[in-house]
Amino acid sequence: MAFPPITRVVTGHDAEGKAIIAENGPLPHVAEIAAIPGTVFHEIWATEGAPAPVGNGADPTLGPLRLPPPAQGTRIRIVDIPPDTEDFLRHGAAKMQDAFTQIGDAEASTVAEDSPHPLMHRTESVDYGVVLAGECTLVLDRDEVLLRPGHVVVQRGTNHAWANRSGQPCRMLFVLVDGRFDPDLTSRD
């Protein structure tokens, strides 16, 4: 199943302060993750700082791919998640350093010999994940849950992975919000 391309509509203001469509077209930054073939990041927008600047600033998706949101900011993206393969489940852990380096957060990978999935990772953020098409399993250290279209995950900085056991691609929307780990909870390691 191939997903349709994503069209981004960005608003702005003209010289008289009137609301306009500043952009209406394909995303300028779409990246396939080389170490995980079929995984595609569709970068939609990001904000930096809080409150977020509201204006006609430059496109924040241009430049290097980054997994986490900017400091005190947000990031919105759509991710196409391919089905897990036997080869990936057996040998994928060895590729995770490369994968997370490509997405700008090499330290996010937490995969270890006893990890329940090769994509285990943790970010210092609150992430809202919405299944748009297909299905995916949210894998945690001690739990997992099957997600289908309409399911929304509030992922609060926990160690996790997105496992696609369906045999079909899954498309998810993610909004990432910069956060800080609660010092009373288990450390990242």
62 CB burial (10 A radius; 0-12, 13-18, 19+): exposed
Range 155-177 average pLDDT: 97
How is the chain split into domains, by residue range? 28-178
Model confidence at 187, pLDDT cuts 50, 70, 90, reads: low
Looking at the domain that runs over 28-178, which CATH code has it been given? 2.60.120.10
Question: Can you give the pTM of this predicted structure?
Answer: 0.94
Angle at 172 between CA 60 and CA 31, to 5 degrees: 45
Model confidence at 133, pLDDT cuts 50, 70, 90, reads: very high
Q: Is residue 82 a contact partner of residue 71, using CB atoms and an 8 Å limit? A: no
| pLDDT, averaged across the chain | 94
* Whether pLDDT at 186 is above 90: no
Sheet containing strand 136-140, edge to edge, reads 144-147, 136-140, 160-163
Q: Is 99 helix (H, G, I), strand (E, B) or coil?
A: helix
Q: What is the pLDDT of residues 5-37, one digit of tens each?
A: 999 999 999 999 999 999 999 999 999 999 999
Model confidence at 108, pLDDT cuts 50, 70, 90, reads: very high
CA separation for the pair 150, 153 (Å, rounded): 10
- Helices then strands, each counted (H, E), the chain: 2, 11
* pLDDT for the residue numbered 153: 98
